[in-house]
Amino acid sequence: MRLLFALVLLTIVACATASPPQPTPARAPDSTTVTKYRNPSQEDNDLYVQRVAEWVGTRKNEPAAQVFKNIQIEWLKGIPAERLLLIMNQGYSRALGVSCTHCHVEQDFASDAKRPKRAAREMAVMHRGVNDQLRQMQHLESPAGDRSINCFTCHRGAINPNQVDQ
C-alpha cells in the first residue's frame, strides 16, 4: 500500500517536472500592462466619467457625435457614447497618467481651449497612421489584423514619453 502511494507520488512529481516550460508570448498582451500600471488620478477620473455618464443617461449607445457637441476625429464619431468615455478614461488619461482636466476645461468638456486637447487630436491621427503602416508591412510574423500600437505604447503613463523613467 505504502509502495503504491509512493509510486503515485513519484508519477505526479515526474509529470509536473516533465510538463514543457510555458513559452513566452512574442507580444505581451495589453492586459498585463493594464494591471501593472495605475493612473494616480484614477479616482478623480472615475468621478468625471460617472458625472458625464449620468448626463448621457439612456443615450449611452447612441453615436458619440450625436450625444456630444465637438467630436471631430472621424473614427470616433460613430462609436457608442459610452465607449468614448472608456477610451478617454482607460485610453487617453491612463496612457499619459493625467486627470481629465489636463486636456479638458472642467466645466465644459466640449471646449478646445486647452492645448493638450488639441495635441491629443493630432496624436490620434498619428497613432492611426502608424497602425495603418504596421498592417501593410510584409515581413512581420504576426497576422496583419493583430498589429497595433496605442497611446500607452509610447506614453507609459507619462505626459512626455521621452521623459519616462526607464
Contact set with ligand HEC (CB under 6 A): 45, 48-49, 52, 68-73, 76, 85, 88-89, 92-93, 95-96, 98, 100, 102-104, 109-110, 116-117, 119-121, 123-124, 127, 149, 151, 153-155, 159-162
Whichever of 144 and 149 has its CB closer to ligand HEC, that residue is 149
Residue type, 149: I
Q: Which three cell numbers stand for residue 133?
A: 503602416
What's the min distance (Å) between Cβ of 53 and ligand HEC?
9
Q: Which is nearer to ligand HEC, 83 or 146 (CB)?
A: 83
Q: Please report how close the Cβ of residue 106 comes to ligand HEC at its closest, in angstroms.
A: 10
Nearest to 89 by CA among 124, 127, 34, 49: 49
- Distance set, CA 145 to CA 6, 77, 79, 91, 140 (Å): 51, 22, 20, 20, 12
Q: Which is nearer to ligand HEC, 17 or 162 (CB)?
A: 162
The backbone torsions φ and ψ at residue 80, rounded to the nearest 5 degrees and listed phi first, read -60, 140
